[in-house]
Every structure is written in structure tokens, then in C-alpha cells.
């Protein structure tokens, strides 16, 4: 199914049509969501690709690989048009964003770390072959299939109802694939612009973005003193590695907790605990272990190797989260000057809502109010 | 640079963006090449290996579908056509007839049909089967193990991560090529493995 990506990209970049993007997202919700029932999706494909990289025996179906690669490539060329009109999760939340409110930028920055943590955990669990946590905690697949469990229904309901006021809560504060698209979109070849030609600073688009993804002009009369900026830079250069090492250390300390979800580790723990194994009824896992005829030493060895993987994984995951935290903090410390209203390339979903607010037409004239 | 007449600072930023764009493209391409080597054109489907299965009963309850996609399959080539069938009758059944209180299957999904003395044929009424594995356990304990659990691909919704596989205590679930989607044990006189 490679055709929705070029179509949506064309609607966003060339036609600049909100109506077109809207209907594309309705179609995607119906087709990828309710007809194909939302599985396999690009978000979950992260885990398949990771597993394919780390586990020798796993072969990845080409379709799943395409679901992972194509949106990234299109985002690299045209911005996050995938989020606007192809992803059924995004489409569903986009359609319920009736009363979007402004969110506090500090809170936004803090909550924005969650997708990185989620991505890191998903990669760790997929790489160790433990579990696909993105699929496990997928809120919307139960809605697409009309068979959500109670917990899933509550999760999806919370997201959709809060999504009326805080637009796209999953995309902004959870989606791990969004992290990758965010990175790629920052250096995209083309990207949606609010104005077709030149910004006239009319401020009409200021309130148009439901996702707070429009960067306001920063043209402060008296720019920061050089000394202040230098001090900030030194602070950042010290803070970022500090956070990375602190995060890595914390991650490595948590490796046993993280590995607790691995069935191999759980089995070894139960077998190693003589009190538990004697006084409690035999679990199915123990029955299966007994009938498999595996030596006990093998079980302990397996568990130990999983724990070792999680120890290294914990360091890498922790470093990654610390690094992200540090860089986000650095981004908030530094001021970037810009003259025009521009969509933030990382955060913008290319939904094209702002386009309709801009009074500048392609020929450079200002639209007349009727 | 001079022809554009732009601020040189902006050009540096553009240069960096271009460099990053190219490296991102190379990165994505590299990732694609690495994984394409380990990919296959067809799909994979979930299946359980009956030789690992311990009939814990989680297949019936842990599928994302309310009525599990795991059903019992009867490999007739392995069946002994016993009168006293360990998969059909509850242990300790006195009179071997089809009375409901004698049946092991909670949903009456196994049909018993007289063939010739002393042989009976057992068939699975698949729409009734819930995949609990009670009959599989009974047949394996007493008979030849001709009743086996399998994921029915006409019912399965093909989740990326099977939720039964996640909870299977025997690690019996795996992804198999869609072209060869069933993993039945076929132990017969001609194939005594």
C-alpha cells in the first residue's frame, strides 16, 4: 500500500489543502484502522525491525519492513505528512480535536520525554526478544476490532476524551514512532509552510495550531550578552554528559526490574526459590519446564544471559534517556532568533490547519475580508 | 553563496541540514539493506507446536478474540478410534455413551459416531470448540495424541505480537511462514517419528 504517502504529501506540499488532508485521514482511519484493523502498523513495526536486527532466527515480512521504512523516507522528503493523513491513530485523534487548548510549554517539554522513554523501552524489550510492549499497550487496536478489553477501553477513552481539549495526546506524549519521524522531519527536504510566499506578521495563524507546533518570531530588541550565552553553553556541555551518565547508571541499576518481565528470568527465579516451589501449587511454567526435560543449569544460564543483556541494555537505555533530557533542557535554555511564524519542523504533523488562516495568497496579495 | 545574497549564517544552517538529510537517507537506506537481507516476501503467521504444548488452557482465555482462534484439530491418521476415548470421556465414566455428564468437552464440540464394533469415530465441531485443550490432555494421557491444538488462520486476526504467545508457559508459539501454516504432529506407522 505505498500510494497514500505520495497522495497526502502532494495534498500538503503542493495543494496546501486542509480539506484534502482531512478526507485523506478519514479514508486512512476507515481503511488502515477499521478495515485492516490497525495491525501491523508503523509504530509496532519498530519492534519487528529491532528484532530482525538482533535475533538471527527472526525473518521480517517485507510488508512490515515497508510499513517502517516508507513513512520515514517520505518524512525525510516532505515532513510528517504520514501523521497527518495516513496513520489511523493520528487520524482518529485529529478528528476528535474539537476544542484544542494551549498547553504550557514547560509541561509540554517534560511530557515530551515520555515518547523517548517508550521508544527506548520498546527497543530494549524487542532486542532481547522479551515482548512487544507497543503492541501490548496499544490503546486503539481494540477499538478498530470492536473487542477492547476493559483496561484498553478505559485507556483509549481517556486518550480520546482528553484529546478533545489536548489535541493528539497519544502522538504528542506517547508515540515512539513519532520520535523517529520528529528527528527525520527536522532535516526534511520540503516542509509545509504557513504562508505561501512571505510572512506579513499579521499574527492570524498564532492560535490556529491545535498542537502548539508553530514557532513564534523571536526578535528580541536586546539580544543576550555574549558572556551569558557562553556561560549557558558551558553549563550545557557539563550537564548533558552528566545526565547521560546518571541515566545510564540508573538504567543499569534497574536491570533486574526491567528483566523481571522476561519469562526465562521468571522461571529461574521460581525454581531458585525453594520455599515458593514447595508450598505453592505448581505453576504451568514449572509443569512445562518439567515436561521439556531441560537441565536446571541451562535454565539458570539462560536467565543469566538475559540479565546480562538487560544490564548492557539498561546502560544504553539510561544514557539515551539522560541525553534526551539534557538536550531538551539545553533547547529550553538557548534562545533561537527567528523573524517569521514557522511550523516547528519536528513537532508539526502537517495537518495544514494553519494554511487556511494565512491571508497571504500565492500571488503575494492579501485576501480581502468579505 | 554570493549570488543568493543571503545571510551567510543561514547558508551554514542550510548546509548542515543538507548534510544531516543525506546522512539520514543513508542511515535509513542502510537499515533497510540490513533488514531486507533477513526478510521474506510472504507473510508469517502464528502457530503453536503441539509437541511443546502442555494444555494449560490459556489459549482459550488469552486470545484477543473473545472466542479464541485456537481450536482443536483431529489428526485421524493417529487416532485409535477407541471406544473408551480419553479425549471424549471424563475419567471414571461408567457407561460409555454420549450423555452430557460423561463428556470431557465443556461445549459438546466432539461428536462420537459408531463405525463398527468396537470402533468409534470422533470429530470436532470447530465452531463450538473454545480451544481449552481438555480433550487434548485426555487424549495425550490415555491415547495416541491425535487431538491437537492449532491456531485456525481463518479466524486468527494476525496480531503483530500474539497475546497467547506472550502468556504461553511452554513457549510453544512461534511465527511460521504463511505458506506452511500448520504444525501438526503426524506420527503414524509409515512415519514413526
* Mean per-residue pLDDT, B59-66: 92
Is residue A323 scored above 90 in pLDDT?
A: yes
**Contacts A288 to B, Cβ<8 Å:** 52, 54, 56, 169-171
Distance from CA of B145 to the nearest CA of A (A): 15
Average pLDDT (A162-187) is: 94
| Contact assessment for residue A183 and residue A122, using Cβ atoms and an 8 Å cutoff | no
**pLDDT at A36 (0 to 100):** 85
Residue A368 has pLDDT above 60, yes or no: no
pLDDT at residue A367, rounded to an integer: 62
pLDDT > 90: what percent of chain A? Answer: 53
| Tens-digit pLDDT profile for residues A55-81 | 888 888 888 999 999 999 999 999 999
Confidence grade of residue B3 (pLDDT, cut at 50, 70, 90): very low
- Per-residue pLDDT at A148: 86
Burial profile A214-223: b = 16 or more Cβ within 10 angstroms, e = fewer: bbeeeeeeee
Q: What is the pLDDT of residue B2?
A: 43
Q: Which residues contact A130 (CB under 8 A, 6 or more apart)?
A: A259, A261, A262, A263, A306
Residue A277 has pLDDT above 70, yes or no: no
Q: Between A132 and A293, whose confidence is greater? A: A132
Distance from the Cα of B29 to chain A's closest Cα (Å) equals 9
Which of A193, A221, A218, A206 has its CA nearest to residue A338? A218
Confidence of residue A105 (pLDDT cuts 50, 70, 90): confident
CB of A150 less than 8 A from some CB of B: no
Cα(B191)–Cα(B5) distance, rounded to whole angstroms?
A: 82
Cis previous bond, B23, omega within 30:
no
On chain A, the residues whose CB falls within 8 A of the CB of B44 are: 59, 61
**CA nearest to B45 within chain A:** A61
> Is residue A38 over pLDDT 90?
no
Provide residues of B within 8 Å CB-CB of chain A: 17, 20-21, 24-25, 28, 31-32, 34-36, 38-44, 52, 54, 56, 58, 64-66, 157-161, 163, 166, 169-171, 175
Query: Average of pLDDT values for A74-92?
Result: 92
Q: How confident is the model at residue B10 (pLDDT cuts 50, 70, 90)?
A: low
pLDDT tens sequence across B103-147? 999 999 999 999 998 999 999 999 999 999 999 999 998 888 999
ipTM entry: 0.85
Which residue does chain B place closest to A36, by CA atoms? Answer: B157
Q: Which among A40, A69, A135 has the least Cβ separation from residue B32?
A: A69
pLDDT in tens, B165-180: 999 999 999 999 888 9
Whether A62 sits inside 8 A of B170 (CB atoms) is no
**Nearest residue of A to residue B24 by CA position?**
A184
Mean pLDDT to the nearest integer, A210-225: 82
Residues B17-53: tens digit of each pLDDT: 889 999 999 999 999 888 888 887 778 899 999 999 9
Q: What pLDDT is stored for residue B193 in this prediction?
A: 62
Q: Could you give the C-alpha distances from B171 to A146, A176, A302, B50, B75, in angstroms and in order? A: 28, 28, 14, 11, 22
> Is A76's CB within 8 Å of B56's CB?
no
Which of the four pLDDT bands, split at 50, 70 and 90, describes residue A186? Answer: very high
Binary contact (B28, A76; C-beta < 8 A): yes
Amino acid at each position: 500500500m505505498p500510494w497514500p504517502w505520495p497522495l497526502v504529501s502532494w495534498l500538503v506540499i503542493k495543494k496546501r489543502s486542509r480539506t484534502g488532508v482531512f478526507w485523506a485521514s478519514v479514508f486512512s482511519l476507515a481503511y488502515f484502522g477499521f478495515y485492516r484493523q490497525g495491525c501491523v502498523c508503523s509504530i509496532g513495526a519498530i519492534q519487528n525491525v529491532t528484532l530482525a536486527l538482533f535475533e538471527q532466527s527472526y525473518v521480517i515480512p517485507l510488508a512490515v519492513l515497508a510499513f517502517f521504512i516508507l513513512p520515514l523516507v517520505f518524512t525525510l522528503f516532505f515532513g510528517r505528512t504520514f501523521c497527518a493523513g495516513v496513520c489511523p491513530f493520528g487520524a482518529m485523534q485529529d478528528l476528535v480535536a474539537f476544542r484544542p487548548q494551549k498547553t504550557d510549554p514547560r509541561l509540554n517539554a517534560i511530557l515530551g520525554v515520555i515518547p523517548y522513554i517508550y521508544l527506548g523501552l520498546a527497543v530494549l524489550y524487542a532486542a532481547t526478544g522479551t515482548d512487544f510492549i507497543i503492541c501490548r499497550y496499544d490503546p486503539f487496536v481494540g477499538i478498530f476490532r470492536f473487542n477492547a478489553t476493559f483496561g484498553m477501553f478505559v485507556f483509549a477513552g481517556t486518550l480520546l476524551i482528553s484529546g478533545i481539549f489536548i489535541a493528539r495526546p497519544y502522538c504528542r506524549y506517547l508515540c515512539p514512532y513519532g520520535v523517529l519521524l520528529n528527528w527525520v522531519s527536522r532535516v526534511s527536504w520540503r516542509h509545509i509552510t504557513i504562508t505561501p510566499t512571505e510572512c506579513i506578521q499579521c499574527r492570524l495563524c498564532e492560535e490556529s495550531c491545535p498542537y502548539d507546533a508553530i514557532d513564534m518570531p523571536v526578535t528580541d530588541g536586546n539580544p543576550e550578552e555574549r558572556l551569558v550565552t557562553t556561560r549557558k553553553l558551558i553549563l550545557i556541555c557539563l550537564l548533558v554528559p552528566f545526565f547521560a551518565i546518571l541515566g545510564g547508571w540508573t538504567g543499569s541499576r534497574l536491570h533486574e526490574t526491567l528483566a523481571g518481565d522476561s519469562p526465562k528470568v521468571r522461571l529461574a527465579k521460581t525454581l531458585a526459590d525453594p520455599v515458593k516451589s514447595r508450598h505453592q501449587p505448581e505453576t504451568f511454567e514449572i509443569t512445562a519446564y518439567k515436561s521439556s526435560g531441560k537441565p536446571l543449569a541451562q535454565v539458570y544460564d539462560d536467565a543469566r544471559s538475559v540479565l546480562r543483556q538487560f544490564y548492557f541494555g539498561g546502560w544504553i537505555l539510561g544514557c539515551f534517556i539522560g541525553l534526551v533530557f539534557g538536550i531538551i533542557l539545553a533547547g529550553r535554555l538557548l534562545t533561537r532568533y527567528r523573524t517569521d511564524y514557522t511550523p516547528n519542523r519536528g513537532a508539526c504533523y502537517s495537518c495544514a490547519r494553519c494554511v487556511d488562516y494565512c491571508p497571504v495568497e500565492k500571488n503575494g496579495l492579501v485576501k480581502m475580508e468579505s | 553563496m554570493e549570488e543568493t545574497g543571503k545571510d551567510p549564517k543561514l547558508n551554514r544552517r542550510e548546509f548542515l541540514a543538507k548534510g544531516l538529510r543525506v546522512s539520514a537517507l543513508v542511515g535509513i537506506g542502510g537499515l533497510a539493506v540490513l533488514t531486507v537481507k533477513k526478510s521474506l516476501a510472504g507473510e508469517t503467521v502464528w502457530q503453536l507446536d503441539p509437541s511443546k504444548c502442555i494444555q494449560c488452557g490459556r489459549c482459550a482465555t488469552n486470545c484477543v478474540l473473545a472466542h479464541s482462534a485456537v481450536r482443536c484439530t483431529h489428526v485421524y491418521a493417529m487416532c485409535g478410534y477407541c471406544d473408551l476415548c480419553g479425549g471424549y470421556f471424563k475419567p471414571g465414566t461408567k457407561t460409555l455413551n454420549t450423555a452430557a455428564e460423561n463428556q470431557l468437552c465443556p461445549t459438546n464440540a466432539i461428536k462420537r459416531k459408531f463405525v463398527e464394533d468396537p470402533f468409534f469415530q470422533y470429530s470436532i465441531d470447530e465452531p463450538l470448540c473454545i480451544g481449552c485443550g481438555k480433550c487434548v490432555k485426555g487424549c495425550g494421557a490415555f491415547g495416541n495424541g491425535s487431538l491437537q491444538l492449532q491456531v485456525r488462520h481463518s479466524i486468527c486476526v494476525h496480531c503483530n505480537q500474539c497475546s497467547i504467545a506472550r502468556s504461553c508457559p511452554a513457549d510453544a508459539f512461534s511465527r511460521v511462514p504463511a505458506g506452511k501454516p500448520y504444525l501438526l504432529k503426524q506420527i503414524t506407522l509409515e512415519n514413526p517419528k
